[in-house]
Amino acid sequence: MYERYLSRKLREGVIPEHIGIILDGNRRFARSMGLDISEGYKLGAAKVREILEWCDEIGVKHVTLFAFSTENFSRPPEQVKAVLSVIREEIDRLRSELDDLRRRGLRVRFIGRLDLLPEDLREAARRLESATRDFGERTVNVALAYGGRAEIIDAVREIARKVKAGKLSPEEIDEETFKRFLYLPD
C-alpha cells in the first residue's frame, strides 16, 4: 500500500532521468540481524532488484549502482570474496534473464577499474554488457572497483598520453574534452 502511495506521489512530481545509488549498509544490517555477512549482501542484492523495478514503474531511465569501490579492496579478504561472489551471482542471474531485460529495454554497463577484479568476474561482466548493448534506451550502470578520484586520475592520465603522442594539444583541453575521457562519456 505504501509503495503505491509513494509511486503515485512520485508520478505527480518531476521524475529524475538518472539516479545514483550507493549500495552501503549490508554488513551492518547483517550484523544487526545476527546474519552472516554474505547473507546481508544477498538481501541487499534482492533489495536492489526491487528498487530497479520501482525505477521501471516510475520511468527513471538511468540508474548507477555504486556496488564496490576501490576502497573496498582494503576489507578482510573473506568480505571481499563474499561481496564479489554475490555480484557474480547477480550478473549470472541477469544473463539468464536476457529476454526480460530486452523486453524492458534495459542495458547493463560496468564502470570502474575492472582490471582489479578477478578474471571470471570481469569476463561475466563483459558478456552481460555485450549481450545487452542494444537493448534500448534504459541503462543500469554498475560501478565496480570504482572511485571518483580514480576515475579522474584515469581520465587525466589518458589525456596526458594523448598530449604526449601529439593527438591532443593542451589548448584543446576543456570540459567537453575531459568528459570524453570519463568512464561514461555520454
Q: What is the DSSP string of 13-66?
A: SPPPSEEEEE---HHHHHHHTT--HHHHHHHHHHHHHHHHHHHHHHT--EEEEE
Neighbours of 149 (CB within 10 A): 8
Same domain, 53 and 12: yes
CATH number, domain with residue 85: 3.40.1180.10
Same domain, 172 and 91: no
Same domain, 114 and 50: yes
Same domain, 108 and 54: yes
Instruction: Print the domain residue range for 31.
Output: 2-146
Catalytic residue among 36, 56, 72, 120: 72
Same domain, 157 and 180: yes
**Residue 9 pLDDT exceeds 70:** no
CA distance readout (Å), 85 to 55, 79, 117: 25, 10, 11
Q: Between residues 28 and 8, which one has the greater pLDDT?
A: 28
Catalytic residue list contains 26: no
pLDDT value at position 186? 74
Same domain, 55 and 132: yes
**Residue 6 pLDDT exceeds 80:** no
Same domain, 70 and 44: yes
Q: What is the mean pLDDT of the chain?
A: 92
* pLDDT tier, 19 (very low <50, low <70, confident <90, very high otherwise): very high
- Mean pLDDT within 13-25: 91
| Domains identified in the chain, total number | 2
Above pLDDT 90, what percent of the chain?
82
pLDDT value at position 157? 96
Same domain, 114 and 165: no
Same domain, 57 and 82: yes
- Of all helices (H) and strands (E), which one includes residue 77? helix 77-95
Q: What is the pLDDT of residues 99-145, one digit of tens each?
A: 999 999 999 999 999 999 999 999 999 999 999 999 988 999 999 99
DSSP 166: T
Same domain, 44 and 127: yes
Catalytic residue among 24, 36, 100, 120: 24
Q: Between residues 183 and 8, which one has the greater pLDDT?
A: 183
Same domain, 84 and 157: no
Indicate whether this model's pTM tops 0.85.
yes
**Residue 48 pLDDT exceeds 90:** yes
